Amino acid sequence: MYLHGTSRINEQGHLEIGGVDTTELAAKFGTPLYVFDEQLMRETMRAYKSALEATGLRHEVAYASKAFCTLAMCRIVAEEGLALDVVSGGELHTALKANFPPERIHFHGNNKTPDEIEQALNAGIGAFVVDNFHELELLGALAAEKGVVADILLRLSPGVEVHTHEYISTGQIDSKFGFDLQNGSAQRAIQESLKTKGVRLIGLHSHIGSQIFETEGFKHAVEIVGDLYAKAIHEWGASDLSVLNVGGGFGIRYTEEDAPLLAHQYIEAIGTAVKSTFDRLGLPYPEIVIEPGRSIVGNAGTTLYTIGSIKDIPGVRKYVSVNGGMSDNPRPALYQAVYEAMLANRAREEETEVVSIAGKACESGDMLIWDVKLPSVKAGDVLAVSCTGAYNYSMASNYNRIARPAVVFVQNGQADVVVKRESFDDVVSLDVVPARLLDGVLSQS
């Protein structure tokens, strides 16, 4: 398993993260446990900021909170001076509860409800990224009713296809997100928004996909969206346009097959594309906004499990089951995502067998890793699966009424719980038993 950030093997032959022995974490907090390397997250945020600084362009880094959103995470993002991208009332509520500065929040989503729009208007968020005509009309009406003007960006679908898993490619035409350029709805959306009371068009947005390993797609999107930006100013009088948001999607290394670029390589390419496009168009440079999610938290997360049953089918496969699975990491089942792992308690031992890591859900597809080389495993070993920081906790479920794991942040030898482990009572806490069915129910408290 590749060791990211502060991960290392300590003198006891144990995996250590943030200066804390992960076997001690497993013993103290139980497993499954999500462990986040706080220093690595902060360093990555700073790397994006300094790379943007180096372009000389006005800029903002908005962390895409969908990747991992908790109160403590929002506090770190606020402390590091980033903005925050939210896509639901729940993410917005989390940010506001964490006292995240509302003016640094952008609200995304292809179906914001009237209640969510109200919530965001009442909070005074920085900008809405408007996805469709229904939203434009709704937002305009609700803002006008309140006597406010909401700053908006329009989410465009620039028709750029990137080489990534088809479920996570969002810039192509056949997508539920954004206004299409090819069929003229993007052009119409700009003109409509300039006429809509209650909104002020300040920028254009595109997001071409996720887990992207090259820069061509970003450059292409900048050129296409840049052309429309110029048209909006020159032909339709969009005098407040000043922001170009190029979305997120910067890839990370999950396994040795993955070869992502460094933060500054993506940003340099985007900066160069913005300058050449806007020079060509004879326009002042816009403010550049990026929205990384996965690349800020993905490599910083490691999930610890305890190994339980082992089923060896000689000549076929050895199934090694852990006490979690698709309920805490649905990505292998959803996207055939591949992960690496090691035994945290026997990290220096020779890896002698290839096994398959199974989850505990009642589902044949609940497999975390199909083939991983480990020392000869036994029940009670602690398995560490790396790169689980993004879209794991945030996509976890209670399938089979499995309680969700706790989350700890580790740094400088200290471990802090940032999400408590769910109890079975938490799992049933929202269930209601109508009075007519109460007979025989243990207790409803």
Ligand X SMILES: Cc1ncc(COP(=O)(O)O)c(C=O)c1O
Ligand Y SMILES: N[C@@H](CCCC[NH3+])C(=O)O
Pair 327, 333: CB distance under 8 Å: no
Of 330-369, which residues contact ligand Y (CB under 6 A)?
A: 331, 335
Q: At residue 436, what is the residue type? A: R
The answer to whether the bond into 114 is cis (omega within 30° of 0) is no
Q: At residue 417, what is the residue type? A: V
Does residue 210 bind ligand X (CB under 6 A)? yes
Binding test (CB under 6 A) with ligand X, winner from 7, 55, 65, 295 = 295
Binding mask 248-287 for ligand Y (x = CB under 6 A): ----------------------------------------
Shortest distance (Å) from residue 212 CB to ligand X: 8
Smallest CA-to-CA distance from 173 within 189, 161, 188 is with: 161
How would you write 153-222 as a 3-class SS string? Answer: EEEEECCCCCCCCHHHCCCCCCCCCCEECCCCHHHHHHHHHHHCCCEEEEEEEECCCCCECCCHHHHHHH
> What whole-number distance in Å separates Cα of residue 99 and Cα of residue 86?
14
Helices 114-123 and 133-146 pack at an angle, to 10 degrees, of 50
Residues contacting 14, CB < 8 A, separation 6+: 21, 22, 23, 344, 345, 347
At which residue do the structure tokens 């790169």 appear? 387
Does residue 391 bind ligand Y (CB under 6 A)? yes
Shortest distance (Å) from residue 293 CB to ligand X: 3
> What whole-number distance in Å separates Cα of residue 265 and Cα of residue 227?
24
User: Closest CB to ligand Y belongs to which residue?
Assistant: 391
How would you write 92-146 as a 3-class SS string? Answer: HHHHHHCCCCHHHEEECCCCCCHHHHHHHHHHCCCEEEECCHHHHHHHHHHHHHH
Shortest distance (Å) from residue 248 CB to ligand Y: 8
The one of ligand Y, ligand X, none whose footprint includes residue 112, by CB under 5 to 8 A per kind, is none
Q: Applying CB under 6 A, which part among 97-105, 113-121, 247-255, 352-360 lies near ligand X?
A: 247-255
Binding test (CB under 6 A) with ligand Y, winner from 6, 44, 169, 210 = 210
Does residue 249 bind ligand X (CB under 6 A)? yes
The one of ligand X, ligand Y, none whose footprint includes residue 331, by CB under 5 to 8 A per kind, is ligand Y
The one of ligand Y, ligand X, none whose footprint includes residue 305, by CB under 5 to 8 A per kind, is none
Shortest distance (Å) from residue 66 CB to ligand Y: 6
Q: Residue ranges for the binding site for pyridoxal 5'-phosphate?
A: 249, 291-294, 391
Q: Check if 74 is active-site.
A: no
Q: Applying CB under 6 A, which part among 139-147, 241-249, 309-317, 340-348 lies near ligand X?
A: 241-249
What residues make contact with ligand Y under the rule CB under 6 A? Answer: 66, 168, 210, 331, 335, 391
Residues classed as catalytic:
362
- Binding residues (CB under 6 A) for ligand X: these are 64, 67, 85, 108, 170, 207, 210, 247-250, 291-295, 390
